[in-house]
Structure formats: structure tokens, C-alpha cells
């Protein structure tokens, strides 16, 4: 659960977000098949140094290698000195959020092939975690070196039940913040974007995604032609917002899952972390606007548009 000022806005207590699925490794202090994850504050241990993951792309939408001389960063309108962490192809911490609800029953083969391709394309020594969710969320793969990933967790994609997308994103972001090893960070969400079971709002979800050191979010929905009208109008908008607020890209998984996976993998390999020291080191939970400017007007950049300072514990 989240704590502090956000908890008061919930009308229903959020009791269990991530449970241990059958066959998954238990977290410290847990036992049993449905033990709750301990409460984890969303806080970057490096504060007041902020690591901001960014993706660079050209006018055609293709990701580009990062040229450090291109960047200027402004925090609340004031330019901040920059350092760069994590060269292209250095290890990445990756979280996979995989929809296992009834609405994806026709897409299981596409999801399995895309996940497998993305993981296999990661730089050496990277680490991967995976959360499968329907109306409950399960940590099916704690952070694991990419060379040791056992893809049998994908056998638990059952395609049944409701969809608890926002709750799952919040829980995964919290777990990620507490356990991710590397400064280059990414999260891939494979879902139709429908949410009919969460207790947290979309606004609280965005707040959780906009913390110092948060991963870039890549949202991978199906194409509009493969969705019902209500799903297309709501689910795709949800996925687009998740990508935008997470500083990443939305990339349709259909009609070519292999091409989509290659695009996501290329973006993850190319992204970098821009590091700066917060002008105000106070742990006050305040919002700070971010703006990245590029000297080359033919290039674009994605990163979270703002971040929240950690609150006092």
C-alpha cells in the first residue's frame, strides 16, 4: 500500500497487490501462496541526486543513440548541470507487466513471443522482473539476471478474470524502486489497457510513475482493429497516457509482434540516464517540472514531464 497523503483518498483499502504465485520465489519475510508484499516507500536512494531515464528519437520515430552534447535540462524553469549515467548497451533493470485477464485470450501467443524476444535482446548482465495480473497481481519473476531467466512463468498466462491494471502498475513501481539494481531502467506493459478492478485512480498511478529514478514506460497494446469499440476508446487512451506520463513510447503489439518487440528492445538498449542534483533537497513531496531541450531540432526526446520529491518517512 501507499502511505501518507495519498492513502486518505482511497475509498477501498488496497490489501494485496503482489502475491506470490505458485512456483515463484518468496520475498523476504513471506510465506504461502498469497502473502502480501511488505509496504515499500517510493523513494530513490540516491536523493537529492536525480537519475532521469530518457529516450531520444528522430522525426520518423526511430530511436537514436544519445549525444550528450544535445541535452539541456531545466528544473522548474532553471537550467541544471548534467551528468550522464549508463552508456548504450550497459545493463538495464527491466520490469515486465503482463495482462493475464480474459480480454487477452486471443493474444497469448503474441505476448509470449514478444516478451521472449525483448528479454533475449537485453544487454548482458541486465536483470528482469515480471508481474502477471488479472483481477489480482502476482510477482512471477523477482529480479533475475537475464542469463538465468526461466520463461516458464509465461505458462501462467491464463487469460481469465478481470483487469487490475492501475493497482498493478503502482505495486510494481514500488517494488521496482526498492529492488532495481541499475540506473538504466525500463518498464514494459503488455495489456489492452482496460481496467475494471483497481482501487487506485489513474492520477495516483501517474504520481507513482513520476518519482526520481523511475523507469521509462513502454506501453504495448493490441492494434485498434483487434479491439472492441469500448476497449479501443478507453484502453488505448489508458495505454497512451501510461506511456506519456512514464516518459516512454506506446508501440502496438499487432500486427507484427516480432517487429514491435524489436522496436521496444532497440529503445531500451538506446536509452540513457541523465543525472542532476535537485535544486531543493527537501523531502517534502513537492512536484517539480522538467523540460529537456535538444540543440538538434530534428530530434525529439521522451522522459517523465515532472517528478515528485520524496516525502519524509
Q: What is the pLDDT of residues 80-133, one digit of tens each?
A: 999 998 888 899 999 999 999 988 888 899 999 999 999 999 999 999 999 999
How large is the average pLDDT for residues 144-166?
93
CA distance 35 to 142: 15
Which range (79-83, 228-232, 280-284, 297-301) has the least confidence?
228-232
Q: For position 232, what pLDDT does the model report? A: 56
Unique residue bearing C-alpha cell 531520444: 56
Q: Is residue 309 part of a domain?
A: yes
Domain of residue 57, residue span: 16-25+32-313
Q: For position 297, what pLDDT does the model report? A: 87
- Compare 49 and 46 and report the one with higher pLDDT: 49
Residues 6+ apart with CB under 8 A from 233: none
Q: Is residue 5 part of a domain?
A: no
Q: Is residue 144 part of a domain?
A: yes
DSSP 293: E
How large is the average pLDDT for residues 239-263?
94
Q: For position 230, what pLDDT does the model report? A: 53
How large is the average pLDDT for residues 199-212?
92
Q: Is residue 78 part of a domain?
A: yes
Unique residue bearing C-alpha cell 535482446: 121
| Mean pLDDT taken over the chain | 83
Q: Is residue 112 part of a domain?
A: yes
By the 10 Å C-beta count (0-12 exposed, 13-18 middle, 19+ buried), 109 is classed as exposed
Number of separate domains in the chain = 1
3-state helix, strand, coil in the chain (%, to 5): 30, 25, 45
Q: Is residue 257 part of a domain?
A: yes
Q: For position 166, what pLDDT does the model report? A: 95
- The CATH number linked to 87 is 3.40.50.410
What are 219-229's pLDDT values in tens digits?
999 865 554 55
Pick from 233, 269, 220, 249: which is nearest to 110 by CA?
Answer: 220
DSSP 223: P
Q: Is residue 9 part of a domain?
A: no
How large is the average pLDDT for residues 56-78?
86
pLDDT higher than 60, residue 135: yes
Q: Is residue 166 part of a domain?
A: yes
Q: Name the region of 82 (left: φ>0; alpha: ψ -120 to 50; beta: rest).
A: beta
Q: For position 124, what pLDDT does the model report? A: 96
Q: For position 37, what pLDDT does the model report? A: 36
Q: Where are the alpha helices (DSSP H) in the chain?
A: 108-120, 165-179, 202-209, 229-245, 257-270
How large is the average pLDDT for residues 49-58?
92
How large is the average pLDDT for residues 201-210?
93
Side-chain-facing half-sphere of 171: CA atoms under 13 Å: 29
Amino acid at each position: 500500500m501507499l502511505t501518507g497523503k495519498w492513502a486518505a483518498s482511497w475509498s477501498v483499502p488496497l490489501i494485496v497487490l503482489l502475491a506470490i504465485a505458485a512456483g515463484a520465489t518468496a520475498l523476504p519475510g513471506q510465506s504461502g501462496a498469497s502473502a502480501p508484499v511488505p509496504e515499500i516507500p517510493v523513494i530513490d536512494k540516491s536523493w537529492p541526486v536525480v537519475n532521469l531515464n530518457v529516450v531520444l528519437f528522430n522525426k520518423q520515430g526511430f530511436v537514436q543513440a544519445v549525444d550528450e552534447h544535445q541535452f539541456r535540462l531545466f528544473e522548474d524553469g532553471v537550467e541544471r548541470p548534467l551528468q550522464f549515467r549508463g552508456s548504450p548497451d550497459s545493463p538495464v533493470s527491466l520490469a515486465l507487466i503482463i495482462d493475464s485477464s480474459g480480454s487477452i485470450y486471443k493474444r497469448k501467443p503474441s505476448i509470449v513471443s514478444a516478451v521472449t524476444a525483448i528479454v533475449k535482446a537485453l544487454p548482458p548482465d541486465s536483470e528482469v522482473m515480471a508481474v502477471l495480473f488479472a483481477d489480482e497481481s502476482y510477482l512471477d519473476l523477482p529480479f533475475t539476471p537475464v542469463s538465468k531467466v526461466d520463461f516458464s512463468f509465461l505458462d501462467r498466462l491464463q487469460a481469465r478474470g478481470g483487469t487490475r491494471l492501475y493497482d498493478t502498475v503502482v505495486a510494481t513501481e514500488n517494488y521496482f524502486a526498492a529492488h532495481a539494481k541499475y540506473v538504466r531502467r525500463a518498464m514494459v506493459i503488455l495489456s489492452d489497457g482496460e481496467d475494471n478492478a483497481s482501487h487506485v485512480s489513474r492520477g495516483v498511478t501517474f504520481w507513482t510513475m513520476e518519482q526520481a529514478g523511475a523507469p521509462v514506460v513502454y506501453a504495448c497494446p493490441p492494434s485498434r482493429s483487434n479491439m472492441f469499440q469500448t476497449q479501443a476508446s478507453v484502453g488505448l487512451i489508458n495505454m497512451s497516457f501510461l506511456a506519456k506520463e512514464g516518459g516512454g513510447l506506446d508501440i502496438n503489439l499487432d500486427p507484427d509482434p516480432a517487429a514491435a518487440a524489436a522496436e521496444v528492445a532497440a529503445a531500451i538498449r538506446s536509452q540513457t540516464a541523465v543525472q542532476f542534483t535537485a535544486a531543493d533537497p527537501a523531502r517534502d513531496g513537492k512536484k517539480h517540472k522538467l523540460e529537456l531541450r535538444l540543440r538538434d531540432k530534428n530530434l525529439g526526446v521522451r522522459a517523465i514531464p515532472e517528478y515528485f520529491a520524496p516525502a519524509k518517512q
